[in-house]
A = this chain, B = another copy of it.
Amino acid sequence: MRLSCISIFGYTYAMNIENLLKKKHIKVTTARVTLLKLLEAASKPVCYEEIKGNIAMDKATFYRNMITFEEAGILNAFESNSKMRYFELERTPHAHFVCTVCHGVECIESIDIQLPGYEIGTIVIHGRCRSCVEARA
């Protein structure tokens, strides 16, 4: 299985998806490579609903691999207020904004939260996004 070179958090330039998986001791399969390519192409977190039109695999395979990737530290996941789980390749820590009107998801880099004694995993902010506020939606 040969792939064009990609760049995932740390594994830059010469590292491709196949090598990333091997480095993590995860078996290289067509489904996994497809998923990582899609996650890499997406500039924001995606959920199964959004991605299912672009993948042939069963949803069980999708979710099982998300768990595998999460345990390997390859991706982060969080839940929106509508019971859906969003996935994103691991990168520099940042928060996510989920719009309660249009249900869009955005990465928010501009905030820095410190909670002494706590270990922060994910930060999810809900509200009306800029577009929906402007449109008075």
Task: Assess whether B127 is in contact with A119, with CB atoms less than 8 Å apart.
Answer: yes
A115 contact set on B, CB distance < 8 A: 97, 108, 110-111, 125
**Interface residue ranges of A109-137 to B (CB < 8 Å):** 110-111, 113, 115, 117-130, 133-134
Query: How many chain A residues have a CB neighbour from B under 8 Å?
Result: 29
Number of copies of this chain that the complex holds: 2
**In chain B, what residue has the closest Cβ to A80?**
B79
Task: Assess whether B108 is in contact with A111, with CB atoms less than 8 Å apart.
Answer: no
Task: Assess whether A118 is in contact with B122, with CB atoms less than 8 Å apart.
Answer: no
CA distance A74 to B125 in the complex (A): 20
Residues of A whose CB lies within 8 Å of any CB of B are 78-83, 97, 100, 108, 110-111, 113, 115, 117-130, 133-134
* Other A-B pairs beyond A111-B113, A124-B124, 19, CB < 8 Å: A79-B83, A81-B122, A83-B83, A97-B118, A108-B115, A111-B115, A113-B113, A115-B125, A117-B130, A117-B133, A118-B129, A119-B128, A120-B125, A120-B127, A121-B127, A121-B128, A122-B126, A122-B127, A123-B126
